[in-house]
């Protein structure tokens, strides 16, 4: 575990430290597109955050290759090299899109080529355990086609959900954390070394997201752009494919009571092949709804709009930050709920917790304008909007009470007015001149009247 934590921290540190220079580079190169109709931010913000995330990925793989407990992932398989090759290709396409706005069909072709590069180097699906049936072996073209489809769908699911500050990075980080616990359990508890690459990939993916999030939280100073969203989507898909293609269900069946037990134990990984990834079910649902909505309206499935789930949260009254937190909540509930259910599917308390937390999530959705307040002891650790409003202390000798604040119900003079009332009043500028002019006019009228008399 320590080696994985070291790899995660190195990846996060490199990503965090490089994001600042990358932001300046994006501004210098003009990678700051104008605000579009579907955008929710108000000021042009630089993109190209995926550059820092890609170098964080490279740093994580480099460190892991020199750790004795992680070198098996590089010696037994070529999956790390396949991941790096596909990531480099998709990253280049994303950088070009962030700068020059590449056509959607060209990006789709690039995604398929990147997936094909990983397939050629051995990162592919070999078999599919089906609940109730058992292990179904796939032919070469079936496995390759399924792998490419899974990569493309996952990349676009993550890309579609990247619409609010910190949303995509946070949701993928949550999914990677749940997947890491699952893959680590298969490798360490069951001793199956084929799960080592997936464990490493998810640890690096968490580091990429955690290192970028401080720069991307609302209000974001930089966006990851397609260079980042497609990259983390590809890494997440590669993690699932690695377990799917390399972990033998027959070996897992030795620890789970037969082939059927192994099939059910692998559900958190193989259910994604149907949707395609349960641990990012929210982005996938958003992707499916977007395609249906746009096709129903006679638009292209790749045409951008403001009908995504995060846009709907904003429309019903949620603030930017709360909409992101709601999406985090549902992603955490689904991903960790599925992983927990895979560990012990016969336990009733897991289902009870999932149902209870779902009810809490529905309440949060129905109260968009409810503003939570942190307790007194935690106010120094939360943003100012979650702190309790403190009553100002009135100045000495001021007749205004502390509750009489401007803008509050029943409030009289504000602090500025109370201070002014304690000082000698001074006439506003221009009053002395107007008074003198009126006095001269009256004196002139009297003189004229005396002359006539």
Q: Which residues are annotated as a binding site for Mg(2+)?
A: 159, 226
Structure tokens at 249: 């269900």
Q: 301 and 174 in contact (C-beta within 8 Å)?
A: no
Non-local CB neighbours of 16 within 8 Å, separated by 6+ positions: 52, 211, 212, 214, 215
Contact (Cβ atoms closer than 8 angstroms) between residue 211 and residue 173: no
**Cα distance between residue 433 and residue 437, in whole Å:** 6
Element (H, E) at 213: helix 196-216
**Taking each helix axis from N to C terminus, what angle separates 167-184 and 281-296, rounded to the nearest 10 degrees?**
130
Question: Are residues 238 and 118 in contact, defined by beta-carbon separation less than 8 angstroms?
Answer: yes
Residues annotated in a binding site: 159, 226
Dihedral sign, Cα of residue 320, residue 323, residue 325, residue 328: negative
Phi–psi pair at 348, nearest 5 degrees: -80, -25
Phi and psi at residue 305, to the nearest 5°: -155, -175
* Structure tokens that stand for 322 in this block: 């709360």
């Amino acid at each position: 575990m320590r080696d994985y934590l070291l790899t995660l921290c190195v990846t996060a540190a490199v990503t965090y430290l490089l994001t600042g220079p990358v932001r300046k580079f994006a501004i210098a190169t003009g990678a700051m597109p104008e605000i579009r109709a579907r955008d929710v931010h108000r000021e042009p913000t630089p993109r190209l955050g995926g550059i820092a995330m890609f170098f964080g990925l490279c740093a994580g793989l480099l460190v892991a290759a020199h750790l004795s407990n992680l070198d098996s992932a590089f010696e037994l398989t070529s999956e790390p090299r396949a991941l790096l090759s596909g990531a480099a290709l998709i990253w280049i396409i994303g950088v070009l899109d962030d700068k020059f706005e590449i056509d959607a069909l060209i990006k789709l072709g690039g995604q398929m080529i990147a997936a094909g590069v990983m397939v050629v180097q051995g990162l592919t699906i070999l078999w599919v355990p089906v609940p109730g049936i058992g292990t179904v072996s796939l032919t070469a073209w079936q496995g390759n086609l399924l792998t490419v489809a899974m990569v493309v769908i996952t990349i676009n699911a993550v890309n579609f959900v990247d619409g609010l500050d910190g949303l995509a990075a946070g949701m993928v980080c949550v999914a990677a954390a749940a997947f890491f616990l699952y893959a680590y359990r298969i490798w360490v508890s069951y001793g199956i070394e084929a799960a080592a690459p997936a464990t490493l990939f998810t640890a690096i993916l968490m580091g990429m997201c955690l290192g970028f999030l401080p720069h991307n939280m609302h209000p974001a100073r930089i966006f990851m752009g397609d260079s980042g969203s497609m990259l983390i989507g590809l890494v997440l898909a590669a993690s699932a494919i690695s377990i799917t293609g390399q972990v033998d269900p027959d070996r897992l069946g030795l620890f789970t009571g037969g082939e059927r037990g192994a099939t059910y134990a692998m559900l958190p990984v193989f259910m994604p092949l149907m949707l395609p990834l349960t641990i990012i079910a929210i982005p996938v649902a958003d992707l499916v709804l977007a395609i249906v909505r746009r096709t129903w309206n006679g638009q292209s499935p790749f045409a951008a709009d403001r009908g995504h789930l995060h846009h709907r949260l904003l429309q019903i009254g949620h603030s930017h930050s709360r909409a992101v937190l709601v999406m985090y909540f549902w992603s955490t509930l689904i991903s960790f709920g599925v992983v927990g259910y895979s560990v012990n599917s016969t336990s009733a308390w897991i289902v009870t917790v999932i149902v209870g937390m779902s009810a809490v999530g529905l309440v949060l959705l129905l109260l968009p304008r409810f503003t939570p307040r942190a307790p007194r002891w935690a106010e120094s650790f939360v943003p100012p909007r979650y702190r309790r409003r403190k009553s100002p202390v009135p100045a000495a000798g001021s007749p205004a009470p502390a509750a009489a604040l401007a803008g509050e119900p029943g409030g009289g003079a504000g602090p500025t007015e109370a201070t002014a009332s304690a000082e000698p009043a001074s006439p506003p500028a221009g009053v002395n001149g107007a008074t003198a002019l009126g006095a001269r006019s009256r004196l002139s009228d009297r003189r004229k009247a005396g002359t006539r008399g």
